[in-house]
Amino acid sequence: MFEDKNEAKEIKQSDLVSEIQNNTENNLKRRFKNISVCGTGVTMPEGVISQIALSFNTHDLFTKEELRFFIIAAAEDLLHEVKMNNRIQSSLKNYSFQIEDVRIIVYNKNKDGHDVIDPNISIADISQGILTFRTMNPKMPHQIKTHFTETYKEAKKTIGD
């Protein structure tokens, strides 16, 4: 059976992305309790990697400050893993993969594993270098009530780095 060279290349690239995501997950498991990976993602049009993503669930309610700290740590760990993996460099859209090229999403849950509502942060993420914190409307579940944004640089200043 003949195998398309582009398909074989994409399979190899997705294996490398999975390796990077697994390494990041393992690093974060050692540093943070009460949080686990619930999803992974990659944007790879025509085999060119332009974004790598990880999603997490908390297992206890995180404050905005705790979410900010975790998101920055997770994004930087993922970025570090990409930069340390020499085999993936030729597949990256931006050879100098940056914070804008990673996405981290955190679904904030209470101790019972249930979604939280305003005033607690329900979902926090970083995408394109912008952190976004969302609260859910207590009267209409799954509807965003408020959202706050800050740049990666602003978040770094806030946490003292």
- pLDDT in the model for residue 25: 96
In degrees to the nearest 10, what's the CA dihedral of 89, 95, 99, 102?
Answer: -50
Tens-digit pLDDT profile for residues 116-135 = 999 999 999 999 999 999 99
- pLDDT in the model for residue 91: 85
pLDDT higher than 70, residue 161: no
Tens-digit pLDDT profile for residues 87-125 = 888 888 877 899 999 999 999 999 999 989 999 999 999
- pLDDT in the model for residue 73: 97
**CA neighbor of 24 nearest in space, from 88, 102, 93, 89:** 102
- pLDDT in the model for residue 122: 96
| Whole-Å CA distances, 99 to 7, 10, 36, 94, 118 | 28, 23, 21, 11, 28
What is the reported pTM? 0.89
The whole-number average pLDDT for the span 19-46 is 94
Contacts of 25 (CB under 8 A, 6+ apart): 37, 54
What six digits make up the tokens of 88? 């993936």
Cβ proximity of 115 and 141 under 8 Å? yes
* Kind plus residue range of the DSSP H or E element containing 154: helix 152-159
- pLDDT in the model for residue 1: 45
Q: Which residues pair with 107 in a beta bridge?
A: 57, 123
What six digits make up the tokens of 31? 């540093």
Residue type, 48: V
pLDDT higher than 80, residue 18: yes
Domain ranges of the chain: 5-159
Strand-strand pairing, 130-136 and 144-151:
antiparallel
According to DSSP H, which parts of 62-121 are helical? 64-84
Tens-digit pLDDT profile for residues 33-69 = 899 999 999 998 888 899 999 999 999 999 999 999 9
Say what angle helices 64-84 and 5-31 make with each other, to 10 degrees: 130
Cβ proximity of 118 and 137 under 8 Å? yes
- pLDDT in the model for residue 2: 43
